[in-house]
Chains A and B, each alone.
Chain A
Amino acid sequence: MDLWQLLLTLALAGSSDAFSGSEDSSKEPKFTKCRSPERETFSCHWTDEVHHGTKNLGPIQLFYTRRNTQEWTQEWKECPDYVSAGENSCYFNSSFTSIWIPYCIKLTSNGDTVDEKCFSVDEIVQPDPPIALNWTLLNVSLTGIHADIQVRWEAPRNADIQKGWMVLEYELQYKEVNETKWKMMDPILSTSVPVYSLKVDKEYEVRVRSKQRNSGNYGEFSEVLYVTLPQMSQFTCEEDFYFPWLLIIIFGIFGLTVMLFVFLFSKQQRIKMLILPPVPVPKIKGIDPDLLKEGKLEEVNTILAIHDSYKPEFHSDDSWVEFIELDIDEPDEKTEGSDTDRLLSSDHEKSHSNLGVKDGDSGRTSCCEPDILETDFNANDIHEGTSEVAQPQRLKGEADLLCLDQKNQNNSPYHDACPATQQPSVIQAEKNKPQPLPTEGAESTHQAAHIQLSNPSSLANIDFYAQVSDITPAGSVVLSPGQKNKAGMSQYDMHPEMVSLCQENFLMDNAYFCEADAKKCIPVAPHIKVESHIQPSFNQEDIYITTESLTTAAGRPGTEEHVPGSEMPVPDYTSIHIVQSPQGLILNATALPLPDKEFLSSCGYVSTDQLNKIMP
């Protein structure tokens, strides 16, 4: 029944508007708004109607009711507070406010209900506006035209956020001062938010409003916050002067790299050489390294003729010429003595240094004989004693070369004799300068080497080497004058086992020969004996052939033994004893004075004309 009464009242209230036909278009007071700002109190407002006209309503009253229990309580209570909320309002303080209990209010005038409303408090929650709005500058763009700001505010004081009674969300709006339309941002739960891309030269307005989450409506907007972004001229200046150093460096490096690569890979040799000059490799000017490799000595020799260290005596047509280049560092050493002196002197250091071979270019060696090369270098490092050994080895090597033809022609038995035969011939060609030995019958001025090893001092002026000037077709050696000979040392190399040669072979094979060659026909045994004894004066015997040794094929040893002790004058030349054939001569070792000193006899080679001169 109560319910029906309520409904009737409502219907009457609703229809009263339509039925009001009074002159006074007086309107009934109505609820305008009920609001709870903090969910603890609420207030309701209604319109203030001044009734004009005949109908004079009494004071307006508000009655409310709420359902505490499951049953409706028709007990309408009157508004507890008509004042606090202003005129035409009813204020319900916290004791009258229940959240999840629905309320119904009615407005009466003179006992007549004019308006009624039912609600629950949550539905009418409208928070107060946020307070304490402020903003801070976040950053300014590089161009200096835009800026970002951070806007902060606080929740309304009456909203109990700390206890969690209310949970609010906010909405921020902003616009330029002269604009009309506000820009809205999405609702946020926090009390600060960044605003991006505001123009620096414009002034902005910002406002915020709040709402309870999930229920209620938005409250009123806060006070407007004016944002004026300062014109920071300093910033703009700095931005203008921002010099792209990094870009310049990067592009510079890139460009240089490109240019470098262009030059490197371009065909322009001139530019290439300008930027990257070729590193000079060690080489002789004008000499092609390939030429040296190929071994064309003739060409190399001609080229080397330009060289400073080139020796004029160098005979380019001699393939097997070989000599040691002595490096004379001081002028004193030059005048001191010959190489022989240096070799034989006790001053090891001197000889050692003197035997130093110059660097690769000047140390010319004969053609491609590794043995010779090695001995050449070995001579630099070893003592003079050993160096003396090396040289005869070298000479032996020569002889080996020279005898190549003979080897091919001869049988093996004569192999050993080959070097031996040649050596004496070489030796005999050597003449000792200071020795006043008469010489005769020599076509060219040759020096005989009279080496007396027993007296090293007397050998000071003896040259050890003889330069081979020519090689006969038969394989014999023709020596050139004025060369140091190594004859003295070569003696050691003579084969101990000298095969006795038949005269026949002896004569047949050689175009010319020395007395020593004839001696080879002598049986070996005495030779061996001889050699063992004769070391000091070994050379003497080999160089000079006594008539007796020639004529007698046997019984030599005895005479030969005596020879070392004898001091028979040793002739520089020999007379021809036997003229066997056009192929060869046997020289007679007679001590004949030599009319011309310059007439030197080589190792037994005497031409017919010379013979005529010589022969008395």
Chain B
Amino acid sequence: AGSLLLLLVSDLLLYLFDRAVVLSHYIHNLSSEMFSEFDKRYTHGRGFITKAINSCHTSSLATPEDKEQAQQINQKDFLSLIVSILRSWNEPLYHLVTEVRGMQEAPETILSKAVEIEEQTKRLLEGMELIVSQVHPETKENEIYPVWSGLPSLQMADEESRLSAYYNLLHCLRRDSHKIDNYLKLLKCRIIHNNNC
């Protein structure tokens, strides 16, 4: 029944998925660039990588970590998962922009990217919610998502700690944007092209 429904709205879904993939790809590019710039400017060669591999606030989500797991997860859960990740990043991105803007000698490139990422993530979330309503109309609105609590660490007085916090945040952002991009490409090939991209 679900596949029949998909056939009817295939054109709309195709458009929505294409647009979602474009956005996710764009967001991941921006995140990667932002992280590279930050690392290059502030934390490179200072061993933050080891420290930074702490955790991301979205780690609690049972996200597929390899291709097999991605193939095993069902379509509905997969979509819900993506939406949850996107929702969980609303607040961190907001605070990131605020804090970077308030920094002394605020790096313009990083700030502009952060602003853009926040904007595009909101759009992607809207698109995903639309896709979910098309593919799984019966899905109840699931507001549960991981909460980010790293704001105090961004505002720490210690520069090292603060830089570490930013590093971690940007590293997680890069990873999660890559996850979302990957998941959407998988879903697009699965739903639209029937695993034959």
Interface centre among A3, A98, A122, A167, by most chain B C-beta atoms within 10 angstroms, is A167
Judged by a CB distance under 8 angstroms, whether A598 is at the interface is: no
Expressed in whole angstroms, the minimum distance between the Cβ of A421 and any Cβ of chain B is 116
Known A-B contacts A70-B59, A100-B178, A214-B32; the reply to A167 vs B185 at CB < 8 A is: yes
Contact call A161/B197, Cβ cutoff below 8 A: yes
7 A-B pairs with CB atoms under 8 Å apart are A39-B67, A163-B189, A164-B185, A165-B67, A165-B185, A214-B28, A215-B178
Q: Which residues of B contact A161 (CB under 8 A)?
A: 197
Expressed in whole angstroms, the minimum distance between the Cβ of B146 and any Cβ of chain A is 11
Name A41's closest neighbour in chain B (CB-CB): B66
Contact call A165/B186, Cβ cutoff below 8 A: yes
Cα A602 to Cα B82 with chains together (Å): 141
Expressed in whole angstroms, the minimum distance between the Cβ of B9 and any Cβ of chain A is 20
Q: Report B174-191 CB contacts with A as 1/0, cut-off 8 Å.
A: 010011011001111110
Name A164's closest neighbour in chain B (CB-CB): B189
Q: Which residues of A contact B29 (CB under 8 A)?
A: 214
Expressed in whole angstroms, the minimum distance between the Cβ of B103 and any Cβ of chain A is 27
Cα A122 to Cα B181 with chains together (Å): 13
Interface centre among B50, B66, B71, B197, by most chain A C-beta atoms within 10 angstroms, is B66
Chain A stretch 52-87: residues in CB contact (< 8 A) with chain B: 67, 69-72
Name B187's closest neighbour in chain A (CB-CB): A164
Name B179's closest neighbour in chain A (CB-CB): A100
Contact call B54/A99, Cβ cutoff below 8 A: no
Judged by a CB distance under 8 angstroms, whether B138 is at the interface is: no
Q: Which 3 A-B pairs have the closest CB atoms?
A: A164-B189, A70-B55, A98-B65
Extra 9 A-B pairs, beta carbons < 8 Å, given A70-B55, A162-B196, A215-B32: A67-B55, A70-B59, A100-B63, A102-B53, A162-B189, A163-B197, A164-B185, A213-B25, A214-B32
Judged by a CB distance under 8 angstroms, whether B72 is at the interface is: no
Name B29's closest neighbour in chain A (CB-CB): A214
Name B71's closest neighbour in chain A (CB-CB): A163
Known A-B contacts A40-B67, A165-B186; the reply to A122 vs B178 at CB < 8 A is: yes
Expressed in whole angstroms, the minimum distance between the Cβ of A72 and any Cβ of chain B is 8
Contact call A162/B195, Cβ cutoff below 8 A: yes
Known A-B contacts A67-B53, A70-B59, A102-B53; the reply to A120 vs B197 at CB < 8 A is: no
Q: Mark B residues whose CB is within 8 Å of A.
A: 25, 28-29, 32, 49-50, 53-55, 59, 63, 65-68, 70-71, 175, 178-179, 181-182, 185-190, 195-197
Cα A39 to Cα B67 with chains together (Å): 8
Cα A102 to Cα B172 with chains together (Å): 11
Q: Which residues of A contact B54 (CB under 8 A)?
A: 70
Q: Which residues of A contact B68 (CB under 8 A)?
A: 94
Contact call B67/A162, Cβ cutoff below 8 A: no
Interface SS of B by simple majority: helix
Expressed in whole angstroms, the minimum distance between the Cβ of A409 and any Cβ of chain B is 115
Cα A33 to Cα B182 with chains together (Å): 25
Cα A99 to Cα B69 with chains together (Å): 11
Cα A94 to Cα B185 with chains together (Å): 20
Judged by a CB distance under 8 angstroms, whether A7 is at the interface is: yes
Chain A stretch 147-186: residues in CB contact (< 8 A) with chain B: 160-165, 167
Cα A164 to Cα B190 with chains together (Å): 8
Contact call A163/B53, Cβ cutoff below 8 A: no
Name A39's closest neighbour in chain B (CB-CB): B67
Known A-B contacts A40-B66, A40-B67, A99-B65; the reply to A164 vs B32 at CB < 8 A is: no
Name B194's closest neighbour in chain A (CB-CB): A162
Chain A stretch 88-102: residues in CB contact (< 8 A) with chain B: 94, 97-102
Cα A178 to Cα B186 with chains together (Å): 44
Cα A165 to Cα B190 with chains together (Å): 11
Cα A164 to Cα B70 with chains together (Å): 11
Q: Which residues of B contact A215 (CB under 8 A)?
A: 32, 178
Contact call B190/A163, Cβ cutoff below 8 A: yes
Contact call B195/A163, Cβ cutoff below 8 A: yes
Contact call A164/B49, Cβ cutoff below 8 A: no
Please pick, from B50, B53, B175, the residue contacting A7 in the complex, using a CB distance under 8 A: B50
Cα A97 to Cα B59 with chains together (Å): 17
Cα A163 to Cα B73 with chains together (Å): 14
Contact call B66/A99, Cβ cutoff below 8 A: yes
Cα A161 to Cα B187 with chains together (Å): 13
Known A-B contacts A120-B175, A214-B32, A214-B178; the reply to A160 vs B67 at CB < 8 A is: yes
Cα A98 to Cα B65 with chains together (Å): 5
Q: Which residues of A contact B28 (CB under 8 A)?
A: 214
Q: Which residues of B contact A40 (CB under 8 A)?
A: 66-67
Chain A stretch 21-55: residues in CB contact (< 8 A) with chain B: 39-40
Expressed in whole angstroms, the minimum distance between the Cβ of B195 and any Cβ of chain A is 5
Q: Which residues of A contact B190 (CB under 8 A)?
A: 163-164
Contact call A163/B186, Cβ cutoff below 8 A: yes
